[in-house]
């Protein structure tokens, strides 16, 4: 397997590994605040460039997410270009991970299409610096709980409650499904969508939620809640969507940075993804600093209060978006705050 290291102006490290059966990369954006921490993502990309670009964007987002969350970690991300997890992938990724940790310190953790069992496979293959919870566990509920707290801030800001507050959830993976349960319990009006139509219908029936086709959900009235892939808040969304706000779990929701200002111009509220979805990394980060014996779910006594604080952070960002003309782009506001924490800018 060939492993190539790249030196970039924007990131501290980019390492790409490839052979005839394996393609992956690890990007470390910053270790200014401490060891890099970020998920190990598994998904199929059409090209190596798409894979690398995703890792670079995601690792930068992890730096800002960890900073805003007050964690003593920098930002990194692993991306594996594959459709499914195998022991061969675990072994080759372990080699790549150890190579990176010979350069600087990076902790990998469960992410899209990977879980605690995958982390165990990496450790068994000789990989180091992987977050594994021996008693099992999943930080998806912690991520969903953070998004839920963000949605509570949006509801309060819009002075809406019960069925008057509508949340349109796109993607019913681990986080989306947990979020649906929390939203339903709050008595909000919920609509769901997923590429797996049968799954979407099943969840809609279970929670008495509405259903929308994947091509329609982001254009509906209410809060658009992307919980799958990023880049869905694009020019078409700005031109056509009836959504009053965007607040979800997906990473890199804005197709480009200028979209944030366009949302503001249309009075569409936006909660930056690296604030809304920070519950998961808070759970992992707290466990790494306090000890995994307490687990990394929201039942960890050190975690829940930290995730509850997200609601106050979001309330402050929404207030800034609507009252301060010079800082109406909440993505830029949150990024500026994060960069001040990291670099003192």
Q: What is the pLDDT of residues 136-175, one digit of tens each?
A: 767 889 999 999 999 999 999 999 999 999 999 999 999 9
- The number of angstroms, rounded, from the C-alpha of 325 to the middle of its chain's C-alpha atoms is 28
CB 298 within 8 A of CB 142: yes
pLDDT in tens, 32-91: 999 999 999 999 999 999 999 999 999 999 999 999 999 999 999 999 999 999 999 999
Long-range own/partner contacts, residues 195-203 (CB < 8 A, 24 or more apart): 195/228, 196/172, 199/172, 200/172, 203/172, 203/177
Q: 117 and 155: one domain?
A: no
User: What is d(CA 254, CA 231) in angstroms, rounded to the nearest whole number?
Assistant: 5
Give the pLDDT confidence score for residue 333 in this predicted structure.
Answer: 84
CB 168 within 8 A of CB 223: yes
Q: Is residue 288 part of a domain?
A: no
Q: 9 and 33: one domain?
A: yes
Q: 94 and 183: one domain?
A: no
Q: Is residue 78 part of a domain?
A: yes
Q: 38 and 158: one domain?
A: no
Q: 88 and 165: one domain?
A: no
- CATH code for the domain in which residue 154 is found: 3.40.50.720
pLDDT in tens, 17-30: 999 999 999 999 99
Give the pLDDT confidence score for residue 20 in this predicted structure.
Answer: 92
Choose the catalytic residue: 77, 92, 152, 174. Answer: 77
Q: 192 and 224: one domain?
A: yes
- The number of angstroms, rounded, from the C-alpha of 60 to the middle of its chain's C-alpha atoms is 12
Q: Is residue 166 part of a domain?
A: yes
Q: Is residue 61 part of a domain?
A: yes
Give the pLDDT confidence score for residue 134 in this predicted structure.
Answer: 80
CB 81 within 8 A of CB 51: yes
pLDDT at 306 over 80: yes
In the chain, the number of structural domains is: 2
Angle at 231 between CA 230 and CA 234, to 5 degrees: 150
Give the pLDDT confidence score for residue 291 in this predicted structure.
Answer: 64
User: What is d(CA 177, CA 245) in angstroms, rounded to the nearest whole number?
Assistant: 20
Q: Give CA separation, 15 vs 25, 66, 252, in Å.
A: 6, 21, 21
The helix/strand/coil state of 297 is: coil
Q: Is 235 a catalytic residue?
A: no
Percent of the chain with pLDDT over 90: 75
Q: 207 and 237: one domain?
A: yes
Look up the domain containing 203 and give its range.
140-277+309-343
Q: Which of the listed residues 75, 96, 124 is the one where a domain comes to its end?
A: 124
Q: Where would I find the beta strands (DSSP E) of the chain?
A: 2-6, 13-18, 23-30, 36-43, 74-81, 106-110, 166-170, 189-193, 210-211, 222-226, 243-246, 269-270
């Amino acid at each position: 397997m060939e492993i190539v290291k790249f030196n970039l102006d924007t990131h501290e490290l980019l390492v790409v590994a490839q052979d005839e059966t394996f393609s992956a990369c690890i990007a470390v954006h910053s270790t200014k605040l401490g060891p890099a921490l970020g998920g190990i993502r598994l998904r199929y990309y059409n090209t190596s460039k798409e894979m690398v670009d995703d890792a670079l964007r995601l690792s930068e987002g992890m730096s800002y997410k960890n900073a805003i969350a007050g964690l003593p970690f920098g930002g990194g991300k692993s991306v594996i270009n594959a459709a499914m997890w195998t022991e061969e992938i675990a072994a080759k990724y372990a080699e790549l991970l150890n190579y990176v940790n010979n350069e600087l310190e990076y902790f990998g953790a469960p992410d899209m299409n990977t879980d605690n069992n995958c982390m165990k496979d990496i450790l068994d293959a000789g990989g180091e610096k992987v977050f594994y919870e021996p008693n099992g566990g999943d930080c998806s509920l912690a991520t969903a709980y953070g998004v839920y707290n963000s949605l509570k801030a949006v509801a309060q800001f819009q002075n809406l409650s019960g069925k008057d507050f509508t949340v349109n959830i796109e993607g019913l993976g681990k986080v989306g499904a947990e979020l649906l349960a929390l939203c339903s319990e709050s008595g909000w009006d919920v609509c769901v969508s997923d590429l797996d139509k049968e799954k979407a219908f099943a969840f809609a029936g279970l929670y008495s939620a509405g259903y929308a086709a994947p091509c329609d959900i982001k254009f509906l009235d209410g809060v658009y809640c992307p919980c799958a892939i990023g880049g869905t808040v694009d020019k078409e969304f700005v031109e056509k969507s009836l959504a009053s706000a965007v607040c979800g779990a997906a990473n890199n929701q804005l197709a480009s940075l200028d979209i944030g200002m366009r949302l503001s111009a249309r009075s569409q509220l936006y909660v930056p993804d690296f604030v809304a979805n920070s519950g998961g990394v808070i759970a992992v980060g707290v466990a790494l600093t306090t000890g995994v014996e307490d687990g990394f779910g929201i039942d960890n006594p050190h975690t829940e209060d930290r995730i509850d604080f997200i609601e106050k952070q979001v309330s402050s960002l929404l207030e800034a978006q609507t009252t301060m003309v010079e800082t109406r782009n909440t993505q830029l506001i949150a990024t500026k705050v994060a960069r001040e924490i990291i670099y003192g800018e």
